[in-house]
Chains A and B, each alone.
Chain A
Amino acid sequence: TAGITQAPTSQILAAGRSMTLRCTQDMRHNAMYWYRQDLGLGLRLIHYSNTAGTTGKGEVPDGYSVSRANTDDFPLTLASAVPSQTSVYFCASSVSGDSPLHFGNGTRLTVT
């Protein structure tokens, strides 16, 4: 089934450790996004990429990095996790222009 795949589904991570959240889409969408979802704060944009080879910072980029080596993959890396990064992370994609977002199932991350 076409769409966006995120891995892992959930993870418990010790503070100070690094981790990469994976996101792959097979819809050939140009734009990809990472959001975090927190109770009472809604979805906040972490990083985005309008096309392969380019990335940009969203509302809450600190502590996160991304890369976009090709159209399909958009991994999100936490270099040194902190408890405040405990959240549900959603990857999304869209065809460039005025197309809506398609979301993955999310990764639930707990930093202890």
Chain B
Amino acid sequence: AQRVTQPEKLLSVFKGAPVELKCNYSYSGSPELFWYVQYSRQRLQLLLRHISRESIKGFTADLNKGETSFHLKKPFAQEEDSAMYYCALKGTGNQFYFGTGTSLTVIP
């Protein structure tokens, strides 16, 4: 079965503190994983993808096949990072499977 799990529905951190949004996946093949972000009153947009291995807005995510995880991390959270974050898996047949999302609040 193809599935994405985001265990935290809500996450609050103080400004300047490190933040980690958890994502675990279930997929029998070689996974393609993404993080999408939805800021208030905006459309969902791509934040980063694992094959790019890049840092976007200070966020990074490393694919750990052994733990089947793709956690999103940022060393110093900013107020503008407050948003809904979705982890997504591209599975068979070009279908994208999303987790239930984590709402991040950065407290000033």
Least distance between B97 CB and chain A CB atoms (Å) = 7
Least distance between B39 CB and chain A CB atoms (Å) = 12
Given contacts A104-B43, A106-B43, whether A42 and B100 have CB atoms under 8 Å apart is yes
Number of interface residues of B (CB under 8 A): 23
Q: Between A and B, how many residue pairs show CB distances below 8 Å?
A: 55
Q: Which of B48-99 contact A (CB under 8 A)?
A: 49, 51, 86, 88, 90, 93-99
Q: Hey, which chain A residues are within 8 Å of B99, CB to CB?
A: 42
Least distance between A32 CB and chain B CB atoms (Å) = 10
Contact A42 B86 (CB under 8 A): yes
Number of interface residues of A (CB under 8 A): 26
- Checking A56, A58, A98 against B51 with a beta-carbon cut-off of 8 angstroms, the contacting residue is A98
Q: Hey, which chain A residues are within 8 Å of B90, CB to CB?
A: 98
Least distance between B57 CB and chain A CB atoms (Å) = 16
Q: Hey, which chain B residues are within 8 Å of A102, CB to CB?
A: 46
Contact B51 A41 (CB under 8 A): no
Contact B44 A90 (CB under 8 A): yes
A43 to B49, CA, bound (A): 18
Q: Hey, which chain B residues are within 8 Å of A103, CB to CB?
A: 43-45
**Which positions in B face A, CB cutoff 8 Å?**
6, 9, 32, 34, 36, 43-46, 49, 51, 86, 88, 90, 93-101
Can you list 18 A-B pairs, Cβ within 8 angstroms, ordered by A? A31-B94, A33-B95, A33-B96, A35-B98, A40-B9, A42-B101, A48-B94, A56-B95, A59-B97, A90-B43, A90-B44, A96-B94, A98-B90, A100-B49, A101-B46, A103-B44, A103-B45, A106-B43
A100-B34, A100-B46, A104-B43 given; 14 more Cβ-contact pairs under 8 Å: A31-B94, A33-B95, A42-B86, A42-B98, A42-B99, A42-B101, A43-B44, A43-B98, A45-B95, A48-B93, A48-B95, A92-B44, A98-B51, A105-B43
